[in-house]
Chain A
Amino acid sequence: MRLFNKGLIVLGIVALATAQGIGAQSTVYLGAFGDYAYTDSPTAHSGEIGIHGNFDYRALIGAAGYFNLTAFGEISIDPTDSAPSDYLAVDAHSLWYAGDNEVELTLGSESSFAGYDEYDPYWAPHWELTYRIRRGRTAVNPQITYSGYATSTHVSHGAQIGIARAPKVELEYSVAAGGGIDTYADAGQTDLFASLTYSVNGLSGYFLNWNVLGSSTYRSSDDTTREGFSGSLSAQATLTPSSTLQLRLSPTWYWEYLTSTSHWDQGWDISARADVAVSKHVYCYAGPSVVIGRMLDPADAPWSIRLTAGVDVSL
């Protein structure tokens, strides 16, 4: 084990030295945060204080592509009951291009040792392979993607075919249709699903960027709580008027229709956030978010509000 740790340290030093030598880029930041949440129905107060860190490394692969490795980790504790939680996400991402052709591969995982966000300890790997033809920004650029993920009880495979186009530099849209298969080993069930996703990204002036993302899915399942249609429509607007201030607003509307029970539901998740760079390497942020669920059930439309604040230091 000790040998393994030493090996990791040596590998890290070699990676950093190589990064400097070949002009690769790396970013590291560490931060501390706290949040408070109030949930209605049943009434509950909760809080969280913790630390997190992010590492990002990217380098060119000759003249044929690039490689990117990101790792984000977080450890936190709920001061009301001292319950710890942790989260680690690691992604290795690579892209190769030849002429107008691009192949993109992502391998990664999400995991938690002590549990996170009401989940027990878990490890969930995911993977994605995309082939894309880029004939120029204003052309219709087709792409095909295979992706999947796994948990201890569940494996998912999916494929999508779609197009992306940017009629002008300030506006880009994409649409994709696909389907897949979800296997639940614990319940011995297999779901089939078909989905449609679409997005529009835009720039207004120099300092405001925005995007709208939508998705709709039909799922065929033996489980009546899953079979039916579901979807979401989300938007995000980010205004960065100066190098010291960033404001963000992100509303999301989601809906669900379960065919076997003819049950409709919908909800909202709206968050806002302000980030201030107090120096070149120190950032403070704060913001509220509101979640309203099961809005079509007048007897039970629970809502919660969360306030988050933190500080990050880039190294």
Chain B
Amino acid sequence: MAKRGNKTGIVLILMVLWILAGSLLSADSSFARVEQKMQSSQFSDTDKDQLMGVLEQADQQLIPTEVLVLRLEEGLAKRIPPHSLYNALKLELQAYDETRRLVLDRLGHQEGTRLLSDSTVWSRTATLYRQGVPEADLAALLDMFNRQESQEKWDNYRYGGGLLIALRQWGLDDGPSLSVIEALSRSPIPGEDYRVVVDLFTTGFANRIAPDDMVRRIVQSAPRSRSITMLERLVR
């Protein structure tokens, strides 16, 4: 029994080392790629050092660097001035840092670490923060999906966050848009189907159902809808 425990421990340690080595190598290779791209740019050495410094800072703070690298590469391709690029990267870094604090505060260490271990979910949280979603709304969003019993709850949260931004861009106010997400979080509808909810509002427009009225319908019907198709039938 003890031998089996030792073996499991060794396997776990090896796996962790493998993942760490993989991520370090991956970060190193992407950094090298960006550095190479910057060599062919018109940026001064100081600018290059500053930009690479942001990436290194993110790496040291255990913040996912993929998005920052992508932003930097995109900026280089679009010939964005170095100071603007630097400010954008710093804002991105700040968004990751602030949302990590918020997630850990709100969900506690165990659940918070679980969420942050999925870089796509953390990135969505940082995007929501950068898009100006107030901290109180972000906290509410985390709470409502944390209450879900589904194994996919953080994936659902990611889709819920995307829907929140879309609804606000479309013209819904902060309160009603958050109510829609809250109602969906209480339904068994999978997150990947949340996208159809915007279509409910656009079809509602054609049927002369005011957005506030549609919000009321979704809030009422989503928790008792077993699928997005059922919700569609009930509200429009």
Does the CB pair A206–B166 fall under 8 Å? Answer: yes
Does the CB pair B210–A275 fall under 8 Å? Answer: no
Does the CB pair A27–B208 fall under 8 Å? Answer: yes
A207 contacts the other chain (CB 8 A): yes
Q: In the docked arrangement, what's the CA distance between A277 and B172, Å?
A: 14
Q: Shortest beta-carbon distance, B220 to chain A, in Å?
A: 5
A246 contacts the other chain (CB 8 A): yes
Q: A23-B220, A27-B207, A281-B210 are in contact. Are A209 and B199 (CB under 8 A)?
A: yes
B171 contacts the other chain (CB 8 A): yes
Does the CB pair A314–B208 fall under 8 Å? Answer: yes
Does the CB pair A238–B202 fall under 8 Å? Answer: yes
Does the CB pair B210–A203 fall under 8 Å? Answer: no
A43 contacts the other chain (CB 8 A): no
Which size bracket describes the interface of A in this complex? 20 to 34
Does the CB pair B206–A243 fall under 8 Å? Answer: no
Does the CB pair A243–B199 fall under 8 Å? Answer: no
Q: Which of B13-21, B55-63, B149-157, B189-197 is found at the contact surface with chain A?
A: B189-197
The 8 Å CB contact of A206, one of B170, B193, B233, is B170
Closest B residue, CB atoms, query A54 = B208
Q: In the docked arrangement, what's the CA distance between A272 and B196, Å?
A: 24
Q: Shortest beta-carbon distance, A102 to chain B, in Å?
A: 10
B43 contacts the other chain (CB 8 A): no
Q: A134-B229, A283-B208 are in contact. Are A203 and B171 (CB under 8 A)?
A: no
B224 contacts the other chain (CB 8 A): yes
Does the CB pair A170–B235 fall under 8 Å? Answer: no
B198 contacts the other chain (CB 8 A): yes
The 8 Å CB contact of B210, one of A54, A241, A314, is A314
Closest B residue, CB atoms, query A244 = B171
**Chain B 63-107 against A: per-residue CB contact (8 Å), 1 yes, 0 no?**
000000000000000000000000000000000000000000000
Q: In the docked arrangement, what's the CA distance between A246 and B217, Å?
A: 21
Q: Shortest beta-carbon distance, B92 to chain A, in Å?
A: 23
A27, A66, A246: which has the most chain B beta carbons within 10 Å? A27
A25 contacts the other chain (CB 8 A): yes
A309 contacts the other chain (CB 8 A): no
* Residues of the B chain whose Cβ atoms lie less than 8 Å from the Cβ of A240: 170, 201-202, 205
* Residues of the B chain whose Cβ atoms lie less than 8 Å from the Cβ of A58: 233-234
Closest A residue, CB atoms, query B193 = A169
Can you add 10 more A-B contacts, CB < 8 Å, to A207-B166, A207-B198, A275-B205?
A25-B235, A54-B208, A56-B207, A68-B233, A203-B196, A206-B198, A240-B205, A243-B172, A314-B208, A314-B210
Query: Can you give 21 contacting A-B residue pairs, CB < 8 Å?
Result: A25-B217, A54-B208, A58-B234, A66-B233, A137-B227, A169-B193, A169-B196, A206-B166, A207-B166, A207-B170, A209-B202, A242-B171, A243-B170, A243-B211, A244-B171, A275-B205, A277-B205, A280-B211, A314-B208, A314-B209, A314-B210
**Interface set of A (CB-CB < 8 Å, partner B):** 23, 25, 27, 29, 54, 56, 58, 60, 63, 66, 68, 95, 134, 137, 169-170, 203, 206-207, 209, 238, 240-244, 246, 275, 277, 280-281, 283, 312, 314
